[in-house]
Amino acid sequence: VIEQPMQFESRAFVMTCVSMGNPHAVFFRRDLATFDVQKFGPVIENHSIFPERTNAHFVQVISRQEFTMRTWERGSGITLACGTGACAAAVAAVLTGRCERVCTAHLPGGDLELNWCEKDNCVYMTGPAVEVFEGIWPET
């Protein structure tokens, strides 16, 4: 689905859907900094057009080589990053003529470099691996 007009909560959206092995709905915005992801994320995730629910990504294109995004992850809510979501957003940006196949996604949790390779049609993602916590599992 590419650039499908939709209504959610009486508000007009244009949606591009991409599968990365899991469902992603991508929405290009000009108001990303003020857009209410907390309000619209769960409405989109649980809409009847998505029987298995979906991830929702709100993307603002900065240039043909970079974009900023915010994510509502299916079953988790707002997240700082989503690798498959960044890949889906890059593919949606290419399909709609907004970005090149090699681009950078800026997410609240950090940046990801993306490459939708024309030769093999695979999306490659490069980003940091960072330890965020450690713990000990208690003996039972």
- Report the pLDDT averaged over residues 29-37: 97
Backbone angles phi, psi at 37, to 5 degrees: -60, -40
Find how far residue 133's CA is from the centre of its chain.
Answer: 25
Q: What is the dihedral of CA 46, 55, 81, 99, to 10 degrees?
A: -140
The full length of the chain comes to 140
Give pTM, 2 decimals: 0.92
**pLDDT recorded at residue 129:** 86
SS3 45: helix
pLDDT in tens, 53-82: 999 999 999 999 999 999 999 999 999 999
- Phi-psi category of 11—alpha, beta or left, where left has phi over 0 and alpha has psi -120 to 50? beta
Specify the CATH number of the domain 4-126.
3.10.310.10
* C-alpha closest to that of 4 among 71, 62, 50: 50
